[in-house]
Amino acid sequence: MTVEELHELADRERERQAGVRHRVLYCSAAGCVSCGSHATRDAFKAAFTRRGLTESEVVGTGCMGLCGQGPLVKIHDDGVLYERVDAGLAHRIVDEHLVEGRPVAEHQLDAASPFFASQVKIVLENCGRIDATRIEEYIAVGGYEALARAVAELKPQEVVEEVRKSGLRGRGGAGYPTGLKWDIARKAPAEQKYVICNADEGDPGAFMDRSVLEGDPHRVLEGMAIAGYAIGASQGYIYVRAEYPLAIERLKLAIRQAERHGVLGSRIFESGFHFRIDLRIGAGAFVCGEETALIRSIQGRRGRPQPRPPYPSERGLFGAPTVINNVETLANIAPILRHGSAWFAALGTPRSPGTKVFALAGKIRRTGLIEVPMGIPLRRIIFEIGGGTPEGTEFKAAQTGGPSGGCIPAEHLDLPVDYEALATVGSIMGSGGLIVMDSTSNMVDVARFFMEFSRDESCGKCAPCRVGTVHMHDLLRKIARGRATADDVALLEELCETVKETSLCGLGQSAPNPVLSTLRFFRAEYDALLGPVEVFTPSNPLARGRGPGGS
Amino acid sequence: MAILTLTIDDQPVSGTETETLLEVARQHGIEIPTLCHLDGLTDVGACRLCLVEIEGASRLQPACTTRLQEGMVVRTNTERLQRYRRTIVEMLASEGNHHCAVCVSNNHCELQDLAYTVGLQYVRVPYLYPAKTLDATHKDFVIDRDRCILCSRCVRVCHEVEGAHTWDIAGRGIGCEIISDLKQPWGQSTTCTSCGKCVLVCPTGALFEKGATVAEMEKRTEFLRYIVNARQRREWNPDLLHEE
Amino acid sequence: MITLAVEGGPVAVPRDATTTHPSGDNRFKLLDRAINTHHASGSALIEVMHAAQGIFGYLEDDLLIYIARALKRPLSQVYGVATFYNFFRLKPAGRHTFVLCTGTACYVKGADRIQRAIEHRCGVAFGETTPDGAVSLVAARCVGSCGLAPVAVLDETVAARLTEDEAVARIDAWDAATEGVGA
């Protein structure tokens, strides 16, 4: 394909869409499909036939955000958004809204409400807007133009420089500057290099990456191809969780379409640049989100992390320099090249530019997927966008970063959401899961829940994580059951420190975070569960055999 | 190759960029405790006992896999490191079913030695008493998984030196265990050559020779350096075998 | 030898296969195809295991030996990989599968109570299959439908905002449809 052909294709698709009489968009992401959005789609089709509305179409799109209110439907003609659209409502919408011009008020969502108005969409700009199964729709909204421009007009070094100047930081959680990562890989002398998209979104309570892959897969492919051009790689891999069948299906389809249209494959946009992408399906191991473990897994091995250095950007997949970026990071690449690094750097905060996608869940009124500028106070996310906790309960903590993160209490709600600020309260940005806990949540139990997760997901390679997570979990269970003393908490704290400082990889190093942060902010909940320290004396037979650490 | 100079525990030392901190420290008489490391096998950085402090580094680094850099300032035995090492040995002790007094490797056990070195007096965490298996189906050797600390030396020596890859690790986390072939009895393994290298490199009494009784099982690991050196330097020229 | 690149993914077993595999089991032909798609490369071990489990339902020892030979990997390494990942099954699954999401969002909304109710109903723990082979209980890390918490996937159907009673009722319905579920 040439750049001219790309533009022709975009024009043709835009003309086609302009010729459509009514365009109804329904959410076909996993959340809404679970609520029956396929039945909604069929009902719209039937209603079109019934009313003789030819030249109308029902289009399945990516996530529209309000996952708790599905199935969601958007009328493209006037932008009206509907919630909980079942088959009956679909017929009503066609009759009353499309034919008679009176929107069905009681199911209509207010687009000016803070849930929508407070968001800034870059990564999710096409989610809920285009048909994820047709490359033409992606191209019609400017897709693959950034890639075309990069290979035609920019040197690899200039692409890296543009990404570096944008200030984009890794959205997988750690926040390492993407441009710097690319630069190391670009400078590494090697014949073969690789780009890996880390789509092993494992944090429980996080579904940002899945939504991007389901709703806008081409954006990720374009980001990967640009990364490949920038560092000199001709092969990319997407490592995606087996738990995301719809995302896998959409990615397979997107790769086939991209190859057929020549935006992936040999001589992309008639340049000397070749780039192929293959899928690798994970098999259920959280630790494979760690980059060295992910590499081992792609090589068909047990996903056990390796000591770093060497970092993958120097020696990674099959020993070659490898750039590993998370889905959301790669989804930011095309917009940065399209609008320029200065545009991106101006968004968010100076140290953390751009936006962040969060998955809001837990004890909150509006659960779903949101994208906000970095630096927005947590309070606005939870109360303005999320609508606060359900009736009759009080906000207690927000959990970010999953099993590697921490719980942020009410007194820190005015904290701006960026990498550094979250670290100051013992949490991390993480990949974007944001779980709200209310007054009914028990924080010791929350810490125990995450420790159980880390224990079960520890790969078992290094001793502190393999054994330490078991002991920390057992101590937390003992505390939760009211059988522990202050000595147990002291031991727990010491184990936390050792595991944090000595574990081999990020899983072990961050596994104590949920405990440390709940101890820091909710220590009273721990203390309330402790019994007196029993000291063994011959005259106290009850204390026999119950020294420190006994269970 | 350029000679690099650095400081380990206030002592100026030198080495080349292909050497690790552990190698250079040992050459200069500075002992850093290890369990998974063994001269002649690749390093995996798994036991975390050789962690050292490096000035300017945000995290502790394993001496066995960290290459020298010019001007490094390294500390190998601070109070903090001693405390971590003691806790790690404590965890290892609690993880298995270690009964030194009746163990074939009593007084010849690297885990036991380490417990003395780090000053472990009692184990504060509860013993896990896991249900582990003992396999005595091999004609010459026994594996008692109660005493295994998952250092993976046996797996590496079997793969890297013997080339049989009979052993590997199955499962995950605390459920990890050393297995032969498809977790079948060792005696029925179709790949084991009965060379006994795994037994010789095992730091504890997990792998031992049949017939050894309490405190009789002494391990020898020098053979490894000898074989590996000879191979790397091509000292065993095939022609030499046909001289006569 | 010419290796045909065949698109991966689930494949139906052809009923009227005219030639048979030396083992007498035609499913191995499908497995061979998956192996050839990856040029019998050792690094495709996990992909090939996915294919094998898709074709055979679970990974029994003979199958692991077959894969190890085809990909030229040590037996113990193949076994190690099969037991490292949650997704791979070394035993056959039950006729029905109840996948409960145990992610954070589901947990704070009471997935633990559903777990206890189901385990009580079936008489086995999550991760196990009832002795009569009727139901496999599977705990999923996070199915990513946190907006619908607590969520379970019953034989591919997603059940949103599940309660303990509903969950037990769904298993009772399986019970009524077939013969006996668990205790």
pLDDT at A30: 81
| Burial of A510 (C-beta count, 10 Å sphere; 0-12/13-18/19+) | buried
Region B194-218 average pLDDT: 93
Is A291 among the domain residues? yes
Rounded Cα–Cα distance for residues A176 and A179 (Å): 9
Q: Which domains does chain B have, with CATH numbers?
A: 3-77 (3.10.20.740), 82-232 (3.30.70.20)
Write the CATH number for C170.
3.40.30.10
**A156 and A269 part of one domain:** yes
Q: Looking at the partner chain, which of C84, C86, C102 has a beta carbon nearest the beta carbon of A302?
A: C84
**A172 and A266 part of one domain:** yes
What is the Cα Rg of chain C in Å?
A: 19
Residues in chain B with CB shorter than 8 Å from the CB of A504 are: 45-46, 48
Neighbours of chain A (3+ CB pairs under 8 A): B, C
Average pLDDT, chain B: 94
pLDDT at C4: 32
Rounded Cα–Cα distance for residues B15 and B2 (Å): 9
Is A180 among the domain residues? yes
Write the CATH number for A203.
3.40.50.11540
pLDDT at A539: 64
Q: Kindly state the tokens that stand for B189.
A: 């393994």
Residues in chain A with CB shorter than 8 Å from the CB of C42 are: 300
pLDDT at C15: 43
Residues in chain B with CB shorter than 8 Å from the CB of A452 are: none
Task: Return the C-alpha torsion angle C120, C121, C127, C132, nearest 10.
Answer: 130
**A430 and A449 part of one domain:** no
Write the CATH number for A422.
3.10.20.600
With an 8 Å Cβ cutoff, are B174 and A466 in contact? yes
What is the Cα Rg of chain A in Å?
A: 25
Closest CA to A254 of A105, A122, A144: A144
**C11 and C76 part of one domain:** yes
**A148 and A274 part of one domain:** yes
Residue pair C71/C81 in contact by the 8 Å Cβ criterion: no
Q: Does C15 touch chain A (CB under 8 A)?
A: no
**C173 and C103 part of one domain:** yes
**A294 and A189 part of one domain:** yes
For B89-127, the pLDDT digits (tens) are: 999 999 999 999 999 999 999 999 999 999 998 999 999
Nearest residue of chain A to residue B35 (CA atoms): A463
Structural domain total, chain C: 2
Q: Which of C46, C66, C91 is the last residue of a domain?
A: C91
- Domain hosting residue C171, numbered range: 96-177
Structural domain total, chain A: 4
With an 8 Å Cβ cutoff, are B126 and A548 in contact? no
User: How far, CA to CA in Å, does A412 sit from each of A416, A426, A427, B239?
Assistant: 9, 11, 12, 75
**C8 and C78 part of one domain:** yes
pLDDT at A542: 57
Is A2 among the domain residues? no
- Between chain B and chain C, the number of residue pairs with CB atoms below 8 A apart is 41
Rounded Cα–Cα distance for residues A500 and A511 (Å): 7
Region B21-32 average pLDDT: 96
- The amino acid at residue A243 is E
**C146 and C73 part of one domain:** no
Rounded Cα–Cα distance for residues B199 and A424 (Å): 49
| Burial of C78 (C-beta count, 10 Å sphere; 0-12/13-18/19+) | buried
Is A453 among the domain residues? yes
**Positions in chain C whose pLDDT score sits under 70:** 1-21, 144, 178-183
Distance from CA of A540 to the nearest CA of B (A): 22
Q: Which of C91, C116, C150 is the last residue of a domain?
A: C91
Rounded Cα–Cα distance for residues A336 and A339 (Å): 5
Is C114 among the domain residues? yes
> The pTM is what?
0.91
**Positions in chain A whose pLDDT score sits under 70:** 536-551
**C108 and C171 part of one domain:** yes
**C4 and C84 part of one domain:** yes
Q: Looking at the partner chain, which of A30, A31, A433 has a beta carbon nearest the beta carbon of C104?
A: A433
| Burial of C81 (C-beta count, 10 Å sphere; 0-12/13-18/19+) | buried
**A165 and A100 part of one domain:** no
Distance from CA of C13 to the nearest CA of B (A): 28
With an 8 Å Cβ cutoff, are C141 and A242 in contact? no
Residues in chain A with CB shorter than 8 Å from the CB of B47 are: 462-463
Window 159-218 of B, Cβ < 8 Å to A: 169, 171-176
Residue pair C110/C70 in contact by the 8 Å Cβ criterion: no
pLDDT at B213: 85
Window 118-177 of B, Cβ < 8 Å to C: 159, 165-172
pLDDT at A80: 94
Is A133 among the domain residues? no
Is C165 among the domain residues? yes
Distance from CA of A467 to the nearest CA of B (A): 6
Is C81 among the domain residues? yes
Window 268-307 of A, Cβ < 8 Å to C: 280-286, 297-303
Q: Which of A301, A302, A462 to mutate to test the interface with B (most CBs of B within 10 A)?
A: A462
Helix (H, G, I), strand (E, B) or coil at A208: helix
Is A249 among the domain residues? yes
pLDDT at C175: 81
Rounded Cα–Cα distance for residues C112 and C164 (Å): 10
With an 8 Å Cβ cutoff, are C107 and A449 in contact? yes
**C86 and C120 part of one domain:** no
Q: Which of A304, A323, A345 is the last residue of a domain?
A: A345
Is A297 among the domain residues? yes
Q: Looking at the partner chain, which of B91, B124, B176 has a beta carbon nearest the beta carbon of A464?
A: B91
**A202 and A340 part of one domain:** yes
Write the CATH number for A509.
1.20.1440.230
The b-or-e profile of A192-202 (16+ CB within 10 A means b, else e) is ebbbbbbbbbb
Q: Which of C68, C91, C114 is the last residue of a domain?
A: C91
- Domain hosting residue A103, numbered range: 18-111
Confidence of residue B141 (pLDDT cuts 50, 70, 90): very high
Residue pair A62/A127 in contact by the 8 Å Cβ criterion: yes
Within 10 Å of residue B128's Cβ, how many Cβ atoms?
15
β-pairing, A23-27 with A57-61? parallel
What is the sign, positive or negative, of the torsion defined by CA atoms of A90, A95, A99, A103?
Answer: negative
Is A465 among the domain residues? yes
Is C183 among the domain residues? no
Write the CATH number for A102.
3.40.30.10
- The amino acid at residue A207 is F
Rounded Cα–Cα distance for residues C183 and A385 (Å): 47
**C10 and C42 part of one domain:** yes
Residues in chain B with CB shorter than 8 Å from the CB of A550 are: 126
With an 8 Å Cβ cutoff, are A464 and B95 in contact? no
What DSSP string runs through A49-107? HHHT-TT-EEEEES--S-GGGPSPEEETTTTEEESS--HHHHHHIIIIIIIT----GGG
Q: Kindly state the tokens that stand for A133.
A: 């199964």
**A377 and A471 part of one domain:** no
Rounded Cα–Cα distance for residues B6 and B228 (Å): 28
Residue pair C6/C33 in contact by the 8 Å Cβ criterion: yes
Distance from CA of B172 to the nearest CA of A (A): 5
**A474 and A520 part of one domain:** yes
pLDDT at A1: 86
Q: Which of A441, A476, A498 is the last residue of a domain?
A: A441
**C100 and C61 part of one domain:** no
Nearest residue of chain C to residue A401 (CA atoms): C104
**C67 and C114 part of one domain:** no
**C28 and C101 part of one domain:** no
Window 385-404 of A, Cβ < 8 Å to C: 399, 402
**A248 and A211 part of one domain:** yes
* Predicted complex: ipTM over 0.85: yes
**C63 and C104 part of one domain:** no
**A160 and A295 part of one domain:** yes
Rounded Cα–Cα distance for residues B148 and B202 (Å): 9
Is C182 among the domain residues? no
Q: Which of A86, A302, A404, A518 to mutate to test the interface with C (most CBs of C within 10 A)?
A: A302
**A196 and A252 part of one domain:** yes
End-to-end CA distance of chain C: 54
The b-or-e profile of B229-238 (16+ CB within 10 A means b, else e) is eeeeeeeeee
